Amino acid sequence: MAKNKAICIRCGEWKIYHMDKCNECSFEPETEIDIAKSRILDFPWDFQSPSSDEIIETGRSIQELDKISVQIKKGIPFEFSEKEIEGIREVYVALKDTPKLRILWDVFLWILPVLVMLLFVLYILN
């Protein structure tokens, strides 16, 4: 079973993936801002800002999310950082505009060294 590692930005309920529809309040992130906020309340993730090339850290650890979840359930809204939201929104827009094939190619280039390495190790072991 997949583990819950994101929380609903509306009601604080746990869900598996930040884009999931919430089982509790049926909230589903659709706008770029809501998607960015939902990504913030998901597992930790570092990314590079497409505009400033700055590394932005986002996401929260399970322990942090646990606290935030309790807080939201009590009715205290989570204070989002505008900068964090804006950074994620930029990445999201950049990704959305990138053709799928291009993403696959990037992923391929990324795993290629690992594959080569693996083949090399297998070759040596034989």
27 binds Zn ion (CB under 5 A): yes
22 binds Zn ion (CB under 5 A): yes
Site for Zn ion in 49-78 (CB under 5 A): none
- What is d(CA 79, CA 6) in angstroms, rounded to the nearest whole number? 16
Binding window for Zn ion (CB under 5 A); candidates: 7-15, 32-40, 51-59, 69-77: 7-15
Sign of CA dihedral 92, 10, 44, 52: positive
Give the start-end residues of each E strand in the chain. Answer: 6-7, 14-15, 45-48, 55-58
**From candidates 8, 40, 68, 72, binder to Zn ion by CB under 5 A:** 8
37 binds Zn ion (CB under 5 A): no
25 binds Zn ion (CB under 5 A): yes
Which distant-in-sequence residues (6+ apart) come within 8 Å of 53 by Cβ? none
Smallest distance, Zn ion to C-beta of residue 88, A? 19
- What is d(CA 42, CA 20) in angstroms, rounded to the nearest whole number? 11
Smallest distance, Zn ion to C-beta of residue 94, A? 28
Which residues contribute to the site for Zn ion (CB under 5 A)? 8, 10-11, 13, 22, 24-25, 27
